[in-house]
């Protein structure tokens, strides 16, 4: 049974923090135009992935995660998460919300 990868779980955790820190700004940008909202999401993803990478380099995490995979999951799911916020209670929810398209055809999920 496919559930989610560790990188998908990291993407969910980042998205949860983004919801707390940027939801109002996202809503305001979306009210202006979808282009503004898209630009904001792209910038947020870049900032958050960089911050996570710095944390890995500083040794805050026991595991070295695939940064590109985390970014791919955020690219695939962050907008929808901001539009339809939820608190995940199962790993399957995380896997569906932040699809791992980079694993298409692979079966190395947790």
Domain interval for residue 43: 6-103
The mean predicted confidence, pLDDT, of the chain is 91
- Answer yes or no: is 1 within a domain: no
Per-residue pLDDT tens digits of the chain, which is 110 residues long: 367 899 999 999 999 999 999 999 999 999 999 999 999 999 999 999 999 999 999 999 877 899 999 999 999 999 999 999 999 999 999 999 999 887 765 544 44
Q: What does pTM read for this prediction?
A: 0.88
- Answer yes or no: is 80 within a domain: yes
- Answer yes or no: is 110 within a domain: no
CB 27 within 8 Å of CB 57 = no
- Number of separate domains in the chain: 1
Of 4, 3, 2, 1, nearest to 69 (Cα)?
4
Q: Is the backbone of residue 109 left (phi > 0), alpha (psi -120 to 50) or beta?
A: beta
């Amino acid at each position: 049974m496919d559930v989610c990868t560790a990188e998908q779980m990291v993407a969910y955790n980042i998205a949860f923090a983004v919801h707390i820190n940027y939801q109002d700004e996202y809503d305001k940008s979306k009210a202006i135009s979808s282009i503004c909202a898209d630009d904001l999401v792209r910038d947020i993803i870049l900032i958050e992935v960089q911050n996570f990478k710095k944390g890995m380099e500083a040794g805050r995490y026991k595991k070295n995660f695939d940064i590109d995979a985390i970014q791919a999951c955020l690219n695939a799911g962050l907008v929808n998460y901001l539009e339809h916020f939820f608190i995940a209670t199962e790993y399957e929810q995380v896997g569906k919300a932040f699809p791992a398209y980079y694993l298409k055809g692979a079966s190395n999920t947790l």
